[in-house]
Structure formats: structure tokens, C-alpha cells
């Protein structure tokens, strides 16, 4: 049977030849700004644990208490016997946090986006996607069976032109904070356009919730918008919240529709109740400790200023995501490896995750970082003569 996969070996060689080969690093320590890989201590600049909650003592303790109360596994799907009191309480608290009627937990953000799109649109309908949307939004649109239209990144005029000729249900999908560029969606213009064309607007705020907006309420709050302006909100719990899972929040009829029709909700095991209990605690920390967001802003601005002084090609990001465009994929990998040799962990992001010719170092900051960490990274980048 080995010969059955002979063509796959050639595919892997081709990927490696283009500087696009991906490999995993085995982490030997808890998540945080300091990681141990292969026995070596590294300063971490590539995590999405923006607020430093993944190993927060109170969150960890809540998880342990949840295991003591509920055990490890949830046992079944939410609609069978897997929906615990912890899940239900978290949904209610997330809905209040997001300023929505209701919220619904999903096991991952990818599953939330896939299930959401397919539950709302199908053949005869049209999905409109920003060109730089996350892969889960793109895949959800493609697999829904609806007509699939992409508009230029942040180009509301292009979107408007596409909407003019659309028929059936119209669903606009966008990242809130774009995960590889760090810029913000123009939600006010998108909301107005959606209303003008009787379209639904959905925002994936995986990288905004917890990080921006009042009490970390995300991109919708940042723009002063609400449920009527942005009817569908998706958020993940494995980034700023430091735990795992995702949720969709919106009106009662939206959530009931997803419960009845979202296959990635109906046909999968619920996330462990202990995770829900941990997230309930992290949610309280997100809202209460604004210093974490203030510090992230300060660190990002310090890096931007230093990178510009060094002449680095940084992108205009106001988030904790601070990409440095390198261009060639192999060169981005080589620079990432050079930083690794200096004790700094910075990921090289390459196509197809980003467009051809725009491979980059994706630098991300955590509230656990200090100013001297930023300066150390800038000094290492300076020595590489980028």
C-alpha cells in the first residue's frame, strides 16, 4: 500500500522546495511569554494569548475545580446530554458581555464559522467575503453551496457593486481584526451597506474580543455599534480569554436557528464543562483588568516606533498583531530561524496563509511582555539588517 501515496511524497518535496514546508515545535512548558522547546528557553512573540490568561492562576484553579465537579469529558453533544450548567451559565454571561440576546457555544472557532454560514445560506443565496478573511470564513462560504463573492480588502465600494446584482439571501462575512495584518474592518461602512441592501452582516472578532473596546467588548463596541448594526458576532475563547472554544452571539431567532440547523453544533461533542468554568473566570478578568489592554497598546506602539526607526516594513496595525513584511517565503523562514537562535520565537507566515510575495514575521504581544522585551526583539532585528 506504500505506493498508493507515492505522489504525495512528491507534493511534500514541492512544498519544501518553495520554502513553504510547515513543521511543529514541541512545547515543554506552560503557555506564556517564556516557552521551553528542546530544552531551550525562548522569549515568545507568536502567541495569541494576548492578555496572558492561558496560565493565569485563577483560571487554572477554576479549571481544576470544574474537573472535580464535572469530570474531564462532556460525554456527548449539547443536544444529547453534554450541555452542563457551566455551559449554560457561560453562554448567558457571554451574551451579556457582547450586548446580545443570546450566545451559543461551539467547540472551535472554525466549527462556529462553518456551521453558521451553512445554517444561514445555501443554493440561490450569496456570500460576500473580504479577500483577507480567515480560512474558516472562506471555507464556510465555499462549502455552504451559496454563490461565493470576494471583495477587495476593506473595499466597501467593491462590495456594494457586488451586492447590487445579488439575489436570494445575502450574507457579508468579515474578520473584525484581520489576523495576519492586524488592521480593523470598517464596520460602520459595512453595516450601512448591509442595511441598504437588506443583507446580514457577520463579524468574526476572534482577535478583537478581550483586546479592544470598552472592557474588551471587541470591534463592534469599538465602533459604537450594536446587535441591530452587526446582527451576527463570532468570538473565540482560545486567544485573549486564554482557554478554548468559541461562541456565536445574536438575536434569539439567530441562536435558535443555529441550534436547529448548524451541523457543527448538532453533531459534535460539547467542550468540557471544566473549560467553561475556567472561561467564566477569565471573562471576569477580561472585563475587570483594563491595565492588560492598556499595556498591550503601549507595547505595540513602542514596537511600531522602534521598527519604523529601523526602516522595517511594518504594517499599519493598531492591534497586538504587528507584522513585518519580508516578501520571499524562504527568507522569512531564514530570519525566523535566526531569531530562534537568538532565543526569540517569532513565526514566519507564508502563502497560502498570506498572499504570494507577502511572507512575513507575525509579531504578537502579550500583557505579560515588558518594555525591555520589545527592545530586545528590536535589537535582534536590527542585527539581522533587514
Q: Which fold has domain 20-51+290-383?
A: 3.90.1150
What whole-number distance in Å separates Cα of residue 166 and Cα of residue 194?
A: 12
- Contact present, 166 and 137 (Cβ < 8 Å): no
pLDDT band at 4 (very low <50, low <70, confident <90, very high): confident
DSSP string, 221-272: HHTT--TTTS-EEEEESSSTT-S--EEEEE-HHHHHHHHHH-HHHHTSBPPP
Catalytic residue among 107, 179, 282, 300: 179
Residues paired with 84 in a beta bridge: none
What would the grid cell of residue 282 be?
477569565
pLDDT band at 141 (very low <50, low <70, confident <90, very high): very high
Q: What is the pLDDT of residue 2?
A: 55
Q: What is the pLDDT of residue 1?
A: 46
Please indicate whether residue 78 is annotated as part of the active site: no
Tens digits of per-residue pLDDT, 292-349? 999 999 999 999 999 999 999 998 888 999 999 999 999 999 999 999 999 999 999 9
Sheet of strand 34-37: strand arrangement? 34-37, 40-44, 344-345
What whole-number distance in Å separates Cα of residue 297 and Cα of residue 302?
A: 9
Which uninterrupted H or E stretch holds 322?
strand 321-327
Catalytic residue among 207, 295, 369, 373: 207
Other CB atoms closer than 10 Å to residue 321's CB: what's the count?
Answer: 23
Please indicate whether residue 179 is annotated as part of the active site: yes
% of the chain with per-residue pLDDT over 90: 92
Catalytic residue among 239, 295, 369, 373: 239
- Axis-axis angle for helices 273-288, 85-98 (nearest 10): 30
Q: Which fold has domain 57-288?
A: 3.40.640
- Domain positions in the chain are 20-51+290-383, 57-288
Which uninterrupted H or E stretch holds 203?
strand 200-204
DSSP three-state, residue 361: strand
Beta-carbon contacts of residue 101 (< 8 Å; ≥ 6 apart): 95, 227, 250, 251, 252, 255
The reply to whether 20-51+290-383 and 57-288 are identical in fold is no
Please indicate whether residue 153 is annotated as part of the active site: no
Tens digits of per-residue pLDDT, 60-117? 999 999 999 999 999 999 999 999 999 999 999 999 999 999 999 999 999 999 999 9
Amino acid at each position: 500500500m506504500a505506493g498508493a501515496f507515492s505522489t504525495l511524497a512528491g507534493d511534500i518535496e514541492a512544498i519544501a522546495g518553495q520554502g513553504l514546508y510547515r513543521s511543529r515545535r514541541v512545547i515543554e512548558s506552560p503557555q506564556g511569554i517564556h516557552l521551553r522547546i528542546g530544552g531551550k528557553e525562548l522569549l515568545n512573540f507568536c502567541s495569541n494569548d494576548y492578555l496572558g490568561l492561558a496560565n493565569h492562576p485563577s483560571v487554572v484553579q477554576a479549571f481544576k475545580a470544574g474537573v472535580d465537579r464535572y469530570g474531564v469529558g462532556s460525554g456527548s453533544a449539547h443536544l444529547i446530554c453534554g450541555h452542563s450548567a457551566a455551559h449554560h451559565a457561560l453562554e448567558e454571561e457571554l451574551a451579556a458581555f457582547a450586548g446580545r440576546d443570546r450566545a451559543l457555544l461551539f467547540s472551535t472557532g472554525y466549527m462556529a464559522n462553518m456551521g453558521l454560514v451553512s445554517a444561514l445560506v445555501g443554493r440561490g443565496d450569496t456570500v460576500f467575503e473580504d479577500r483577507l478573511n480567515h480560512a474558516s470564513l472562506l471555507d464556510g462560504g465555499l462549502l455552504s453551496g451559496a454563490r461565493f463573492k470576494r471583495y477587495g480588502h476593506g473595499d466597501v465600494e467593491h462590495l456594494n457593486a457586488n451586492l447590487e446584482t445579488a439575489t436570494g439571501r445575502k450574507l457579508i462575512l468579515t474578520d473584525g481584526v484581520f489576523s495576519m495584518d492586524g488592521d480593523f474592518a470598517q464596520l460602520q461602512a459595512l453595516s450601512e451597506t448591509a442595511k441598504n441592501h437588506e443583507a446580514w452582516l457577520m463579524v468574526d472578532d476572534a482577535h478583537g474580543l478581550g483586546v479592544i473596546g470598552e472592557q474588551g467588548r471587541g470591534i463592534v463596541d469599538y465602533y459604537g455599534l450594536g446587535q441591530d448594526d452587526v446582527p451576527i458576532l463570532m468570538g473565540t475563547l482560545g486567544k485573549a480569554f486564554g482557554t478554548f472554544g468559541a461562541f456565536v452571539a445574536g438575536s434569539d431567532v439567530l441562536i435558535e436557528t443555529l441550534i436547529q440547523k448548524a451541523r457543527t453544533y448538532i453533531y459534535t461533542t460539547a467542550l468540557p464543562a471544566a473549560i467553561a468554568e475556567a472561561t467564566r473566570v477569565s471573562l471576569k478578568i477580561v472585563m475587570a483588568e483594563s491595565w492588560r489592554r492598556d499595556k498591550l497598546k503601549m507595547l505595540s506602539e513602542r514596537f511600531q516606533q522602534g521598527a519604523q526607526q529601523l526602516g522595517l516594513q511594518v504594517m499599519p496595525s493598531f492591534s497586538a498583531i504587528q507584522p513585518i513584511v519580508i516578501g520571499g517565503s524562504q527568507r522569512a523562514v531564514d530570519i525566523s530561524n535566526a531569531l530562534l537562535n537568538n532565543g526569540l520565537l517569532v513565526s514566519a507566515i507564508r502563502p497560502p496563509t498570506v498572499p504570494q510575495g507577502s511572507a512575513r514575521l507575525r509579531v504578537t504581544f502579550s500583557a505579560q511582555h515588558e518594555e525591555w522585551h520589545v527592545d530586545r526583539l528590536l535589537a535582534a532585528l536590527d542585527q539581522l539588517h533587514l
